[in-house]
């Protein structure tokens, strides 16, 4: 049975935090009130890419997106739009760049510079409906591959498309498939790496939750190309919605014989099973992932042998990331030449990034390779809030590095980012402004790798910990110049001798901040001063004479360290101050400043 | 002859056999590459990263142990960058290491210490300089072994050894990252973790993180206590390996020096476990005959190896009835020492300290089993491994190489050739066959049963004795044990007598034997060399059948035959019981 209307409720991480669950419940209550809960379907979709706008509800087929916060707004949407088909103009979301309400969602300026290939169906179809996926040409690519192409031709198309692995390494996908195909074995496996673990990244989750069938279809195509009959999706257990939808999708596909035996009447058969990971970052590394599927402790193995020769249970195995797979059906349908028109010479296609940090519009963006960082930050992201200056962009999560303002005009692709000392990674992109302390940033990412190192090889296990210790010392003002030397030696040692990619890239946040922001490190060490005012032990505050006496700082101070009468300049007692920074945030005129340790005065 | 490839190492060209790793190529050509985790065919994970070398000027260094040479390859093993990285790596390992070398079980042959010295490590990331040390774990609740994570370098050799030698996989990594430590799951005490105490992990360890329960101090006190009579027994395979600790080549027989050193250590009496081995054969042989003639449970399994007994009790308790009820030679000797021998020496059993020198870690736990004593004392009070004995000799400053060999005194040190070969796989079976064949068929003149010798981990033979085909098998090492017992469930073949040993190669390769460094492990066939010593002793013996040992015959006529059946059984036989590990998790 088909519903009259469909409400897509955003289920992205950001919207989830804004209590989208409560909004869903409220919608249901309202629909019931109007006795139309059977006519209207409510579906939780994946991220719409407009996170800053708050909880978003899309009404289909009208393609209208509302932003709602309160119950009365929900009442209004249900009453007007759903009952009476009147669009509630005042609740429609505004274009974050043009600040106008636009009729067509796709005309949004935010999307102008974007090109949705991977996210083509996300937020548009009901992910639980295989029919809707098929209606958007779903499984056509599999049919085309099976009916029109030989397995060699499929690989040729993927090779020609120059698609590169989106999991971070950027290895040419077609070549990887070819290796797996050329390995002689009667049993081979296709594995989808859906163990997305970078802090703040949720690209794969969006695809898994918003368009699960595209992954199944691509895996079947891959299976056909390399000669595998069994696929595994290794997905994090922390993505329960993704797991549920994948399970449902597999079941639906089997029922329609889009997975199973003799697909499309050919003699090609393909099955897919799920394997749940239990939250180890290192299991995103393909050999560790394979060990984990086999039931062993998730620890990487030396390569060679590569999984294409000897992978899962010793059989040739092709491991690709979710986003890589999501590109495959489109490439098969539209051809390699079409794909090559998008992106740059060496990196074709698009890349999804999770844009976050000090930026106006956060969320998932999908941009063609070759887009400049400046376009991303200012045209898509809407720039830095509060008239602050951009300091750096961190890409690649804990494996990546920082890119500074002067490099913003670099077109983004795999190689340029590596040249800048960062990396594509899986697609985290954090924008930082002058309030970010780069020592603290390095420390944050390193803390993550220290926690997530598997402990197998010495440099990563011990080296990252000692680097973290040194960064702690520096941020506490106990660091010495010798410590910075140690840090550099350790960083290059860990990078060049670690066993797997996790260790080899773990020092990147340190190396790139040391390269671009050495003066900040030196300020911490020599002057015992944190210029950004982040490192507590090194921050003192003063209230200068621009204070207007609004008392906001005093009210916000948790320890009563600020005294002063209304409309008189306030005073700060540093002996009581715990350096939480609440006053500085509260001050409407910027009178509270951070100073070097010695300069504080009452 | 395999194909040669041309490889440039440190600007010099070498022709290296195809398929060799860079590490092997270098070592064979006298180029030293530091190594810590690599243990040939046991642990080849390449995770210590100390053997990092530059290959073809690639940016990232490659592990020499697992990088295979290629024609035209250019390798650099030594430059400032590599030196700095190896040093830094060692500095990192050192920073979390608990240095107490003076009392460490590896004071003389620590592979880690060698490296720290070679690279002049300053330990600059230690707590002395304000760095945080990791939490350590001490697992010492078992009677036999200790795991001390404060000395662990997390090379993973023990984990692989446990998996590949025993097939049980008791040891693994716990937690992750910087908090990783090795131990049984949840750092369970080894006594409740399914461990059979074979000690393969100890032998794989490059440091002193894994060791036997150290009983040196107890021994030192006992020999200085005037109210105690210290009686030592020495297992067959000790004489074949002890010399290695003092610089003798592997496979040197140091029997005389061993007894002389023990004498200098201050023990009062010395007997030879070989004597008890002969006694065991007579008892076990009779038991076997009894089972064959009176339709007892067959096949009968030997019971001398405590590692194997642990294995059976833990993993195949349903086969306990097959296990011979005979005590192991150590325990038979202990029982005789505390009763017959004490009586002859006219000392109270409670004033006798019975010490055994064993190639085995599991023996320490065996000596503490419930029915291994009577009237409130244990038959064996102190079990020292070969390594502990060597340590003791060194610490006392005894010049082992230059002492005059001596013979043990007393008739309980008399033994036959059959007893000597107890220490090697197939030896117990061969010794038993010599006696049993003669008991069954007085015509049988066979002495050497070559079918049961050799390194193969499962050996089978059929002997025609007294009109009957006797099918025997010899199995050693946990992996083979499992394979054999699984096969036994399905096979139609009827076996009569099976010898099992917990360690591959038998006692000569026991968990208490001198540790062979990883480098020597690749070059020397330790099992073969040590076995040779025992087989040579056997072939040179005049008496080669256990029941012909005059001291054994005398023991029976003077003492054992006078005991009632019940007492005799209590003295020389024991019971087994099914055990489980992690019992509260198993419903």
φ and ψ at residue A357, rounded to 5 degrees: 90, -145
For residue B156, what is the nearest residue in chain A, using CA coordinates? A456
Are A243 and A334 found together in one domain?
Answer: yes
Q: What is the CATH number of the domain that holds A194?
A: 3.40.50.11540
Quote the pLDDT of residue B438: 85
pLDDT digits (tens, 9 = 90+) for B183-238: 998 888 999 999 999 999 999 999 999 999 999 999 999 999 999 999 999 999 99
**Cα B38 from Cα B21, distance rounded (Å):** 12
Domain residue spans in chain B? 4-78, 128-213, 217-572
CB atoms A498 and B88 under 8 Å: no
Which secondary-structure segment (H or E) carries A395?
A: strand A390-395
> Nearest-CA distance from B126 to chain A in Å?
10
**Cα B186 from Cα B191, distance rounded (Å):** 13
Taking all residues of chain B, what is their mean pLDDT, rounded to a whole number? Answer: 93
Are A522 and A561 found together in one domain?
Answer: no
Residue found by looking up tokens 């290695």 in the block: B244
CB atoms B180 and A297 under 8 Å: no
Out of A452, A469, A493, the one facing B132 most closely (by C-beta) is: A469
CATH tag, B4-78: 3.10.20.740
- Mean pLDDT within B59-77: 94
Chain B contact for A511, CB < 8 A?
Answer: no
Quote the pLDDT of residue A399: 87
Could you give the number of structural domains in chain A?
5
**Which tokens in the block code for residue A359?**
């930026």
Are A309 and A240 found together in one domain?
Answer: yes
Quote the pLDDT of residue A13: 66
What ipTM was predicted for this assembly? 0.90
> Nearest-CA distance from A503 to chain B in Å?
11
DSSP A83: I
**Cα A459 from Cα B126, distance rounded (Å):** 16
**Cα B478 from Cα B162, distance rounded (Å):** 9
**Which tokens in the block code for residue A113?**
């510079």
Boundary residue ending a domain (A318, A339, A360): A339
CB atoms B50 and A458 under 8 Å: yes
A9, HSE (Cβ side, Cα atoms, 13 Å): 22
Quote the pLDDT of residue A313: 96
Are A427 and A511 found together in one domain?
Answer: no
Are β-strands A5-10 and A40-45 bridged in parallel, bridged antiparallel, or unpaired? parallel
Quote the pLDDT of residue B442: 67
Strand pairing partners for B373?
A: B378
CB atoms A462 and B95 under 8 Å: yes
Are β-strands A230-236 and A271-277 bridged in parallel, bridged antiparallel, or unpaired? parallel
Which of A399, A424, A242, A409 is closest to A349 using CA atoms? A424
Are A21 and A167 found together in one domain?
Answer: no
Task: Report, as ranges of residue numbers, the positions in chain A whose pLDDT lies below 50.
Answer: 1, 599-602
DSSP string computed for B328-356: PHHHHHHHHIIIIIHHHHT--GGGEEEEE
Tell me the three state secondary structure of residue A41.
Answer: strand
In sequence order, which residues have a C-beta less than 8 Å from that of residue B220 and are 6 or more positions away?
A: B392
For the segment(s) B128-213, the CATH number from 3.40.1440.10, 3.40.630.10, 3.30.70.20, 2.60.120.260 is 3.30.70.20
CB atoms A301 and B180 under 8 Å: no
Are A510 and A582 found together in one domain?
Answer: no
**Containing structural domain, residue A508:** 438-526
Contact A539, A476 (CB under 8 A): no
Are A310 and A392 found together in one domain?
Answer: no
Reported confidence tier of residue B474, pLDDT bands at 50, 70, 90: very high
**Which tokens in the block code for residue A132?**
């809707």
CB atoms A497 and B49 under 8 Å: yes
pLDDT digits (tens, 9 = 90+) for B481-515: 999 999 999 999 999 999 999 999 999 999 999 99
Quote the pLDDT of residue A93: 78
Query: What are the chain A neighbours of B64 within 8 Å (beta carbons)?
Result: none
Q: What is the CATH number of the domain that holds A560?
A: 3.30.70.20
Asked whether residue A81 is domain-assigned, the answer is yes
Are A201 and A328 found together in one domain?
Answer: yes
Least confident of A24-33, A362-371, B279-288, B344-353: A24-33
Residue B36 has pLDDT above 70, yes or no: yes
* Chain-centre distance for alpha carbon B286: 28
Are A373 and A487 found together in one domain?
Answer: no
Quote the pLDDT of residue A51: 65
Are A425 and A498 found together in one domain?
Answer: no
CB atoms A457 and B93 under 8 Å: no
Give the gyration radius of chain B's Cα atoms: 25
* Chain-centre distance for alpha carbon A343: 20
**Stated pTM of the model:** 0.89
Contact B511, B31 (CB under 8 A): no
Quote the pLDDT of residue A53: 64
Out of B66, B172, B177, the one facing A453 most closely (by C-beta) is: B177
Are A136 and A253 found together in one domain?
Answer: yes
Reported confidence tier of residue B521, pLDDT bands at 50, 70, 90: confident
Query: What's the topology of domain B217-572?
Result: Rossmann fold (3.40.50)
**What angle (nearest 5°) sits at the alpha carbon of residue A325, between those of residues A320 and A329?**
150
**Which tokens in the block code for residue B240?**
């074949």
Quote the pLDDT of residue A600: 45
Are β-strands A390-395 and A428-433 bridged in parallel, bridged antiparallel, or unpaired? antiparallel
Helices (H) and strands (E) counted in chain A, each on its own, are 26, 17
Share of chain B above pLDDT 90, in %: 84
Quote the pLDDT of residue A602: 38
Count of Cβ atoms closer than 10 Å to residue A581 Cβ? 18
> Nearest-CA distance from B47 to chain A in Å?
4
Are β-strands B352-358 and A230-236 bridged in parallel, bridged antiparallel, or unpaired? unpaired
Count of Cβ atoms closer than 10 Å to residue B166 Cβ? 26
**Cα A398 from Cα A443, distance rounded (Å):** 10
Contact A459, B92 (CB under 8 A): yes
Contact B98, B153 (CB under 8 A): no
Quote the pLDDT of residue A66: 84
Asked whether residue A490 is domain-assigned, the answer is yes
Are A449 and A517 found together in one domain?
Answer: yes
**Cα A324 from Cα A204, distance rounded (Å):** 10
Quote the pLDDT of residue B528: 94
């Amino acid at each position: 049975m088909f519903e009259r209307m469909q409400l897509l409720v955003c289920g992205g991480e950001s919207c989830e935090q804004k209590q989208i669950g409560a909004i869903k419940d409220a919608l249901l209550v309202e629909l019931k009130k109007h006795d139309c809960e059977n006519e209207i379907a409510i579906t939780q979709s994946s991220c719409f890419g407009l996170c800053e706008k708050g909880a978003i509800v899309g009404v289909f087929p009208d393609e209208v997106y509302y932003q709602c916060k309160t119950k009365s707004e929900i009442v209004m949407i249900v009453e007007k739009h759903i009952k009476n088909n009147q669009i509630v103009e005042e609740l429609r979301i505004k274009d974050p760049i043009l600040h106008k309400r636009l009729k067509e969602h796709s005309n949004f300026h935010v999307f102008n510079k974007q090109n949705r290939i991977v996210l083509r169906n996300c937020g548009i179809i009901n992910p639980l409906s295989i029919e809707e996926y098929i209606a958007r040409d779903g499984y056509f690519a599999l049919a085309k591959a099976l009916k029109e192409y030989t397995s060699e031709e499929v690989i040729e198309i993927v090779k020609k498309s120059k698609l590169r692995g989106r999991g971070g390494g950027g290895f040419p996908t077609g070549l990887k498939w070819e290796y797996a195909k050329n390995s002689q074995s009667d049993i081979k496996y296709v594995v989808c790496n859906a163990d997305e673990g970078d802090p703040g990244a949720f690209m794969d989750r969006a695809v898994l939750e918003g368009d699960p069938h595209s992954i199944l279809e691509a895996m079947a195509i891959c299976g056909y190309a390399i000669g595998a009959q069994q696929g595994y999706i290794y997905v994090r257990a922390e993505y329960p919605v993704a797991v549920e939808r994948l399970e449902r999708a597999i079941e639906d596909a089997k029922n329609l014989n889009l997975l199973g035996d003799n697909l499309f009447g050919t003699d090609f058969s393909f099955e897919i099973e799920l394997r749940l990971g239990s939250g180890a970052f290192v299991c995103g590394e393909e050999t560790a992932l394979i060990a984990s599927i086999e039931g062993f402790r998730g620890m990487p193995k030396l390569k060679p042998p590569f999984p294409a020769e000897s992978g899962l249970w010793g059989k040739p195995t092709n491991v690709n990331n979710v986003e890589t797979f999501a590109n495959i059906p489109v490439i098969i349908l539209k051809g390699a030449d079409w794909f090559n028109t998008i992106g740059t010479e060496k990196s074709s296609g698009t890349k999804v990034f999770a844009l976050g940090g000090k930026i106006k519009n956060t969320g998932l963006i999908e941009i063609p390779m070759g887009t400049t960082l400046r376009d991303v930050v200012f045209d898509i992201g809407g720039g830095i809030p509060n008239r602050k200056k951009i300091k750096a962009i961190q890409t690649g999560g804990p494996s990546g590095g920082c890119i500074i303002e002067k490099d913003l005009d670099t077109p983004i692709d795999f190689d340029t980012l590596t040249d800048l000392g960062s990396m594509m990674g899986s697609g985290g992109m954090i924008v930082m402004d002058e309030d970010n302390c780069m020592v603290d940033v390095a420390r944050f990412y390193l803390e993550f790798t220290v926690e997530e190192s598997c402990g197998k090889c010495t440099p990563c296990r011990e080296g990252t910990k000692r680097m973290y210790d040194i960064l702690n010392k520096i941020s506490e003002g106990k660091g010495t110049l010798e410590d910075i030397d140690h840090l550099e030696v350790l960083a290059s040692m860990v990078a060049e001798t670690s066993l797997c990619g996790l260790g080899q890239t773990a020092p990147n946040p340190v190396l790139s901040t040391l390269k671009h922001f050495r003066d900040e490190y030196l300020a911490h060490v020599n002057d015992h001063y944190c210029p950004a005012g982040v490192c507590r032990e090194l921050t003192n505050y003063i209230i200068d004479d621009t204070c207007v006496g609004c008392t906001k700082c005093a009210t916000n101070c948790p320890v009563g360290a600020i005294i002063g009468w209304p409309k008189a300049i306030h005073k700060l007692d540093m002996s009581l101050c715990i350096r939480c920074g609440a006053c500085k945030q509260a001050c409407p005129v910027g009178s509270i400043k951070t100073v070097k340790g010695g300069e504080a005065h009452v | 002859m395999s194909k040669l490839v041309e490889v440039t190492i440190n600007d010099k060209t070498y022709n290296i056999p195809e398929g060799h790793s860079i590490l092997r190529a270098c070592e064979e050509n006298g180029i030293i590459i530091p190594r810590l985790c690599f243990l040939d065919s046991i642990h080849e994970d390449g995770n210590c990263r100390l053997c990092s070398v530059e290959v073809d000027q690639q940016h990232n260094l490659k592990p020499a142990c697992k990088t295979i040479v290629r024609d035209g390859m250019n390798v650099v093993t030594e430059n400032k960058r590599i030196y700095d990285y190896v040093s830094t790596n060692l500095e990192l390992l050192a920073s979390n290491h608990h240095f107490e070398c003076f009392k460490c079980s590896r004071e003389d042959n620590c592979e880690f210490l060698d490296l720290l010295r070679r690279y002049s490590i300053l330990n600059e990331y230690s707590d002395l300089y304000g760095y945080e040390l990791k939490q350590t774990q001490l697992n010492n609740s078992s009677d036999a072994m200790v795991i001390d994570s404060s000395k662990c370098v997390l090379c993973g050799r023990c984990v692989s050894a446990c998996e590949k030698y025993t097939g049980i996989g008791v040891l693994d990594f716990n937690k992750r990252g910087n908090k990783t430590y090795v131990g049984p799951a949840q750092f369970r005490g080894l006594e409740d973790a399914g461990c059979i105490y074979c000690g393969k992990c100890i032998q794989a360890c490059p440091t002193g993180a894994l060791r036997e329960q150290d009983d040196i101090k107890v021994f030192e006190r006992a020999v200085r206590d005037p109210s105690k009579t210290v009686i030592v027994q020495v297992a067959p395979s000790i004489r074949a390996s002890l010399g290695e600790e003092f610089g003798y080549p592997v496979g040197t027989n140091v029997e005389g020096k061993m007894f002389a050193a023990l004498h200098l250590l201050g023990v009062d009496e010395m007997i030879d476990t070989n004597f008890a081995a002969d006694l065991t054969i007579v008892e076990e042989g009779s038991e076997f005959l009894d089972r064959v003639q009176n339709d007892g449970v067959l096949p009968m399994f030997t019971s001398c190896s405590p590692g194997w007994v642990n294995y059976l009790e833990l993993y195949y308790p349903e086969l306990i009835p097959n296990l011979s009820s005979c005590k192991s030679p150590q325990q038979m000797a202990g029982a005789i020492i505390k009763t017959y021998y004490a009586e002859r020496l006219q000392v109270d059993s409670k004033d006798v300290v019975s010490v055994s020198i064993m190639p085995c870690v599991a023996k320490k736990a065996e000596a503490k089993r419930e029915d291994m004593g009577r009237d409130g004392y244990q038959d064996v009070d102190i079990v020292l491994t070969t390594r502990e004995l060597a340590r003791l000799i060194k610490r006392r400053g005894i010049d082992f190489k230059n002492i005059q060999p001596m013979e043990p005194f007393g008739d309980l040190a008399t033994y036959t050739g059959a007893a000597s070969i107890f220490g090697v796989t197939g030896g117990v079976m061969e010794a038993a066959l010599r006696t049993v064949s003669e008991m069954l068929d007085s015509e049988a003149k066979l002495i050497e049963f070559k079918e049961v010798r050799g390194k193969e981990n499962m050996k089978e033979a059929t002997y025609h004795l007294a009109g009957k085909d006797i099918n025997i098998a010899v199995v050693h090492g946990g992996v083979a044990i499992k394979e054999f017992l699984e096969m036994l469930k399905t096979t139609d073949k009827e076996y009569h007598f099976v010898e099992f040993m917990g360690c591959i190669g038998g006692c000569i390769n026991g968990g208490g034997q001198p540790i062979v460094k990883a480098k020597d492990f690749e070059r020397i066939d330790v099992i073969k060399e040590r076995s040779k010593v025992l087989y040579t002793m056997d072939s040179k013996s005049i008496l080669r059948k256990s029941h012909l040992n005059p001291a054994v015959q005398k023991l029976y006529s003077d003492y054992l035959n006078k005991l009632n059946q019940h007492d005799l059984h209590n003295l020389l036989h024991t019971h087994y019981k099914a055990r489980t590990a992690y019992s509260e998790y198993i419903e």
